[in-house]
């Protein structure tokens, strides 16, 4: 079982060469740049470059379903198969990702 999980993670990680223009387009501030870099290093393998989901669920428009605090709690404590990042990321890094994800839909709506 562990071997299968490792193979799945490695295969997902190998797809990191996908087009990340949508992520780069969301960068406006240095804080957003930090959040995107964290997303790419910690979240992309399960949630995809376009936030559409792979092993983990889609994070597109997650800010319309969950508050920034709820997102932060899920990243911190884990949820339904997602591991806790409490010991992996600093609290400020978790907050950065949560804020970015919570506000992604607002930025995209402003572009239309």
pLDDT for the residue numbered 16: 45
Kindly report the pTM of this predicted structure. Answer: 0.75
Beta bridge partners of 79: 82
| Helices and strands in the chain: count of H runs, count of E runs | 7, 0
pLDDT for the residue numbered 112: 40
| Distance from C-alpha of 45 to C-alpha of 97, rounded to nearest angstrom | 15
pLDDT for the residue numbered 8: 52
Q: Which two tokens stand for residue 81?
A: 């198969």
- Positions of the chain with pLDDT lower than 50, given as ranges: 13-16, 108-112
Q: What phi-psi label fits residue 48: left (phi over 0), alpha (psi between -120 and 50 degrees) or beta? A: left
DSSP 42: I
């Amino acid at each position: 079982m562990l071997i299968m999980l490792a193979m799945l993670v490695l295969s997902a990680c190998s797809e990191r060469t996908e087009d990340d223009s949508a992520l780069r387009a969301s960068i406006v501030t240095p804080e957003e740049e930090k959040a995107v870099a964290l997303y790419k290093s910690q979240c992309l393998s399960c949630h995809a470059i376009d936030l559409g989901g792979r092993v983990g669920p889609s994070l597109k428009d997650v800010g319309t379903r969950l508050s920034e605090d709820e997102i932060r709690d899920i990243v911190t404590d884990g949820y339904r198969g997602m591991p806790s990042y409490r010991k992996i990321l600093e609290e400020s890094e978790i907050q950065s990702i949560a804020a970015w994800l919570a506000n992604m839909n607002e930025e995209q709506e402003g572009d239309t």
